[in-house]
Structure formats: structure tokens, C-alpha cells
Structure 1
Amino acid sequence: MKNYALALLIPSLFIFVSSCNKSKAAEEKNELEKTAVVAVDSVKKKAVTTIDTADYNRRMLALSNNDTTGRWPVKTPYPLPGALLPYNRIIAFYGNLYSTRMGILGEIPRAQMIKQLQGEVAKWQAADSSTKAIPALHYIAVTAQGAPGKDNMHRMRMPFKQIDTVLKWAKPIDALVFLDIQVGHSTVKAEVTELVKYLSLPNVHLGIDPEFSLKNGHVPGTKIGSFTADDINDAIDILAKVVRENKLTPKVLVVHRFTQGMVTDYKRIKKLPEVQVVMDMDGFGSRVLKRSTYLTYIYREPVQFTGFKLFYKNDNWNNWKMYTPEELLKFTPKPSYIQFQ
């Protein structure tokens, strides 16, 4: 009322104030409009994937080696930004620090092992300059056991101090770390959950091995076990949650396989932007046998990416000879993950 009375007594002042208020209101409106535009632009930028989809498609097509059956490349959602595949090829050394018999990781001294791993990475980089070869340490963090153990699960969880050691070994060479689980009579969900604090680290990924998953009461090692799509999806769901909650780049999940029965219902395996699934041909033997296994169980049942395991001893026995990078690059599809045991 006081301002209204003054306006009646002093019209010129009212006009001046009104004019100023209109000017101020106009300025505020412009600022709001600018803010709204910025906000809309920000939303648009967040909604659009930042990967180069044309480049991604080209790389996936190259991995398929011009497959004409329509199986490869597999149609999946585009990955989150920062995905390792198909931009890199992972070269991994596999094993356990308690055993000299489970793989090259743990079989020979650390310095010698690291040097040998770097040599294998260099060979793959020379064989395919279009894809960066990167090192990885693939550590068996849960091992299947013949004895039932205190909880009757026929598996042993390695102490976290061993995982910490592998992480320290990986750091100087900028290597990835894979934690591998052999569930025995336990479950994928139970064992992967125990490792979430490590999987929450940017450079730590996961491997799961159906060979040692015995659901029917058999002792691990006496029969070849299996995973259903639900088992594998449990791992995928946990990894996807870890990625979302920690704002990480996609995790790689390696699933070992060398028989038909080791993985069932492969078409039901989830395909998410947060997780990249590698089906790894895990058998040893002659070249003919290994190629046949890759064709039968990996090529013909496509999931997303493929891997190939090489055994320094078992693939070089009885006049057998281990595949070279140049030879494996002729496979359809080209493997994105190479594991040495």
C-alpha cells in the first residue's frame, strides 16, 4: 500500500520504477531462457552415447572376419564409453600363486613371468597393428577342491592378501587383473559377491569356470560341470550393478568353455552396456581338436566376444604345436582375449 500511494503521488517515479522493473524482468527472462537452453543441451549431451558407433561397428565387423552366416558380429547394445573391446586385445597369464601346476602365473618367478607376458603382448601387437594388445594377470581367486571343507562347498577362497599381491604386480606394467572363480558346490552369486570390493576397482574384471560347477553332488574334477544362462546372468547382474554404482567403464566377463554341456541356454545370456562377455575356448590338445572345439562351441553359439586359451605344456606335447598369433587371427571370429596357462 505504501508503494502504491507513492506511485499515485509521483507518477513520473512510478513510470521510472515500472520501466526499470520491466527491463529487469526482461533480463531475467533472457537469463532463464539461456539457462533452459544450457540445461536442455546438457541433457542431450548426457543422453547421447559418446562412443563412435561407426568405428565400433567397423571394428566388430573386422573381428567377424567377414562371416557370411549372420552369426557374427553379434547384435548387442552399444557399450558404455571406455569399453575395452573391440578396441583392445587382452593377453592374459593364468594361474594361482600357491601352485606351480595351475598356470604360468605362479609357475615361474614374478620378474621372469612379467617379461614373458610382455613378450607375448609384443607378438600379438606385431601380428595385428590395428588392435592394441594389452597385458592381464588372470588369477584363480576361488579354487575347486576334492575335499568338502568346513562348509561342504568343495571350494577354497584365496586370502585377499594374494589378490593384493597380484594387483601390485599388475600396476607397474599397467595390466588388467581378472579374478577367476571355480565354485565347486557353491554358486556364482555367492562367490562373485565376496569379491565385489575388488571388482569395484577400475582395472579388475571377472572370470567364471563352469568346469568346476557341480550341481549334482559330484566331486569337482571327477565330472565336467556346467553353468546355465541364469548362473552367468547372476555374474552379469552383479558386474552391471558395480559399474553403475561406481560410475565405471564396462567390465569384461570371461566364461571358460570346451564342451557343449558346460554352458546351456546361451541365447538367454544377457547383453548389457555395462558388461562385455567373452566366451573363452578353454581346451587343450591337437590343433585339429582345438579348432574343431572353437568352431562347434564358440563360433556356432555366439554370445558377444571370443577368447582362445593356449597351454605352454599341453599344447606342445605329443608332436602338437601351439597356435601362433598369425594363425589365430585367421579364425572366425578373431579372438579378442588370449589366455596362456
Structure 2
Amino acid sequence: MRLPHAHRSLAAFLVLSATLTAGCSGQGQSGPDVAGPETTVGSASSATPSPTPTPAPELPRGGRAVFPAYRLFGYSGAPGAEGQGRLGIGALDERMVEMEKRAQPYAKGRKIMPVMELIATTVHGSAGKDGMYRSRIDAAVIQEWLTTARKHKAMLLLNIQPGRASFPDEIKAYEKWLKEPDVGLALDPEWRMGPGEVPMKTFGHVKAAELNECAQWVSELVAKHNLPQKVMLYHQLNEGVVVNEPTLVPAKGVVMIKSVDGIGSPGAKVDTWKRVVAKKPTFVHGGFKLFYQEDVETGGRLMTPAEVMALKPTPEYILFE
């Protein structure tokens, strides 16, 4: 039944009024073509400011790659232990100033990166409470040396003489420090004792597989914390100290260095260099160690900078003990 004209007009008016009311209030409708009174398209107040990116950590003297920009030059030692290296003699700051001057003839076209090699895990001739023939240095000493290293824009390497412990176990004990962009590792395989072996009575040795395990762990640490390249060197005084050395493999973010540690006259040290460095994998960089006391006592004198830099391949890390 059709409504009378007046009723139809009233009904139409009521429908129109309801529609206009809903439209003005912004309620009762939704969709991309309808916006409430509080919405401002493209409003600057609704934009979220972009955070300032955190700069990637760098090496002490800039950059994130060690080579070929730098030549490393270091002293080793432990506080108050004169027999363990130059850094154990006198005040640290004095030794660092001395190191900087002594390093200059070794630059040979590169920037010098000073290195403090701290003996963090020290081997002993007695077993100790845990039977591992080693002890770890106090954390306060590491912090003191790291503070000094940063004052002089130097790199700190934690030297590990593991006794009967394994290298992987020892380096993981220093994870707090190795997460820092200016702290690396120096491993001493001659003090890696097997079961039944006693330090000072026999030479230790390490299998390449154990060094690879260490390098992989360091690589993961570098990736996790976005660190610059991290040095992991191993000392070697004769060919037998590292077993299956050709099976070493590269690890991303890890710079592996082999420090040749022969003692004696310049001629004897050069011969040791030639024999030991011959087995170095191509990706491993060469390092050369000089001994203030032992080289002079057994060989009559220290090698000169010119003699050291004439070695082939040219050492990329020179260390004095």
C-alpha cells in the first residue's frame, strides 16, 4: 500500500536528516573515502623521526680492516714479571711511549698499530687446584691495560698459555673483553699440554682443528657485535708446535697471524723464519719476535730493523719480549 504524499515527504525528510547527522558526526560509516575530523592526511605530526644510526666500531687508529693499512708492532709482558717481557718492566705509559718510537723504522709505508700483548693465562709447572697447570690474571689488570691501550690508541692482545686446558675453553673465559673492538688473542701452542704432559718438561702442541674452532668462535663474536676485524695470532718456535697446519681455514672477520719465535743469533733466527714460515697457509700473515735478553745472550745482538724488514715475506707483526 502506498503512503499518502505528506507521509512520503515526512519519511524522506527523516531519512535525509539521519544521513546528514551520521555524516557530520563521522560515525556509522567506514572505508578509504571517509575520514573523521581528527584525521589529517600527510600531517607532519604523525611522522616518526628516524633514529640516528650508531657508528660501527673501529680499530684503535681508525678503519675496520687490519691489513694492509697497518703494520703491528708490540711489546709483551705481565705486571711485575720482568722475565715475561718488556711490558713488565717499569711504568706502562713509559713503555708505550718507548714502543711508539721504536716502531717507526718498521713502518715501511704503512701506519703503525701499537700492540700490548698481555699474558692473561699463565702456565705453571705445578698442577694447581684444578689440575690445569695454569692461572688466569685478575680482571682488574686487564681493565688497567685496556685503559692504557686506549689512551695510546693501541690494540690489546690477550696471550693464552693454556697448560692442560684447551684453547677454546680458555678464550671463552675472556668473552667479556673479546667483545671489545680493540681486544684480540695471542695463542701459545708450546704451552698447550696434553694428558700426562707437564709444562717446563716438554714442549706442547696444538692441532690445527683446535685453532680452527677458536677462529670460528671469534668470527661469530665479530658478527654478533658488528666488530672490526679481530686479530688471532699463534706463536710458533718450531715446525712441530702446530699439527696439520695446512688444514687451517679462514674465518670471516678474523685476521690470523703466525708469529715465528726463534731465539738466537740473526743467522739462526733467519733460518728458523725460513723453515717455520714455509708451512704458513697463504691467508695467514707473518709475524716475527725478538727477545731483548735471550737473543743477546745466545746470539750476541738484536737484529736491526733493516734486517727484520728484509725477511721474505715481510713480517706484518713485529713483537719484542
Q: How does 1:1-341 map to 2 (within 5 A)?
A: 82-125=64-107, 128=108, 130-303=109-282, 304-318=284-298, 320-341=300-321
Question: So what's the TM-score if we normalise by structure 1?
Answer: 0.73
CA distance in 2, matches of 1:298, 1:131: 22
Q: CA deviation at 1:86?
A: 2.2
SS of match in other structure, 1:135: strand
- Greater RCO (CA < 8 Å, at least 6 residues apart): 1
| Separation in structure 2 between the aligned mates of residue 267 and residue 123 of structure 1, nearest angstrom | 32
Conserved in 1, the CA contact under 8 Å of 2:93 and 2:148?
A: no
- Is the contact between residue 299 and residue 332 of structure 1 (CA under 8 Å) also seen in structure 2? no
Q: Which has the larger radius of gyration?
A: 2
Greater helix share, structure number: 1
Paired with 2:162 and 2:200, the residues of 1 have a C-alpha distance of 12
Secondary structure in structure 1 of the residue aligned to 2:240? coil
How much does 1:113 deviate?
1.1
Q: Match of 1:120, as an amino acid? A: R
Identity %: 28
Partner deviation per Cα, 1:43-102 (whole Å, 9 max, x = no partner) = xxxxxxxxxxxxxxxxxxxxxxxxxxxxxxxxxxxxxx8210222110011011141210
Partner of 1:50: none
Distance 1:119 1:217 in 2: 45
Q: Distance in 2 between matches of 1:307 and 1:319?
A: 20
1:336, CA displacement in angstroms? 0.4
Residue pair 2:264, 2:298 contacting (<8 A) in 1 also: no
Distance between the aligned counterparts of 1:177 and 1:296, measured in 2? Answer: 29
Q: Relative to 1, partners in 2 of residues 1:212 and 1:241: Cα closer, same or farther, differing over 3 Å? A: same
**Which secondary structure does the structure 1 equivalent of 2:302 belong to?**
coil
Sort the Cα spacing of 1:183 and 1:317 in 2 relative to 1 into closer, same or farther, 3 A: same
1 CA distance for matches of 2:281 and 2:308? 17
* Structure 2 unaligned blocks of 5 or more: 1-32, 34-62
Unaligned runs of 5+ in 1: 1-20, 22-80
One-letter identity of the residue aligned with 1:293:
T
CA displacement at 1:258 relative to structure 2: 1.1
Residue 108 (structure 1) shift? 2.3
